[in-house]
Structure 1
């Protein structure tokens, strides 16, 4: 069941994904829910063309329901085809999200997790990118929080708890 947004929140936000100090992508998203900690938005696949990861393809027509937390170091994106078929969940390890006016600022910390729709595939992604990022040297506390968040999400996914987290 969807919980209404808080009074005074915008119906449409701009999600701003930052990586290594640069804006990676900006896109409009409709607000689904905001309970003060978790902010849920829905948006069509915003990148150009198709992105084939080998284990899943993101393509025009896909719709993402994205869950961001102000107190957690991750975001979970439910990925569906245009006709509603569930592809799975793409989880980004991020600093806690910050809402500034109508912009939702999210800092990507390179680590990711993919969970297939049936839960049979749980894949840790981009650990090599994370190592090369130098975050562990620049901000050891953030690097530690990022690794803990990835571990937490992986445990939840393997136990079938992602849907409960998002419910």
Structure 2
């Protein structure tokens, strides 16, 4: 574990998702593990009510096991319903995560990817939001890293590479 990480599994960790310089959402999770590079937390669905994307519904009772890296430009969130049935994986393209004390801060860069539980649906999401964000003009290196991360995740999702990624 890093010197700045939470100490033991089960330790509360506040996940802070930042977008456009503002906190989009903050929620409490429990540390599953931290190997110094990857931080894994588990949390119930943090938003109010149901969010229906058309290809998946997030709703009260869902449990997210979230994988964040300090050296990668994405986060992978395994989503299960309240009964433990796997719904799939929702992936956020982000700057590398920063864990300080009990706070995990992640900057969302608009791009997302969904992979269904059976692997038949792999969807690139929010590319229009990413283009409209102006990141490519403000920070071309970050924009390039974000697109490369989305490409890598899509390749892993189509080749069933999530198992190795999340072990």
Instruction: Pick one of 7, 11, 17 that aligns with 1:9.
Output: 7
For residue 100 of structure 1, report the CA deviation from its aligned partner: 1.4
TM norm structure 2: 0.95
For residue 131 of structure 1, report the CA deviation from its aligned partner: 0.1
Partner of 2:62: 62
For residue 26 of structure 1, report the CA deviation from its aligned partner: 0.3
Partner of 1:38: 38
**Residue ranges of structure 2 left out of the alignment (5+ in a row):** none
- Partner of 1:54, secondary structure, is coil
**In the aligned structure 2, how far is the partner of 1:60 from the partner of 1:121?**
23
For residue 85 of structure 1, report the CA deviation from its aligned partner: 0.2
For residue 8 of structure 1, report the CA deviation from its aligned partner: 5.8
For residue 164 of structure 1, report the CA deviation from its aligned partner: 1.2
- Partner of 1:87, secondary structure, is strand
* Residue 49 (1) aligns with residue 26 (2): no
CA contact (8 A) 2:40 2:68 kept: yes
Partner of 1:106: 106
CA contact (8 A) 2:6 2:102 kept: no
- Partner of 1:77, secondary structure, is strand
Paired residue total: 163
**Residue ranges of structure 1 left out of the alignment (5+ in a row):** none
Partner of 2:71: 71
Displaced runs of 4+ in structure 1, greater than 3 A?
5-8
For residue 163 of structure 1, report the CA deviation from its aligned partner: 1.4
- Partner of 1:152, secondary structure, is helix
Partner of 2:160: 160
**In the aligned structure 1, how far is the partner of 2:45 from the partner of 2:87?**
13
Shift in alpha-carbon separation, 1:138–1:41, aligned structure 2, 3 A: same
CA contact (8 A) 2:6 2:31 kept: no
Let me know the Cα RMSD of the aligned residues.
1.2
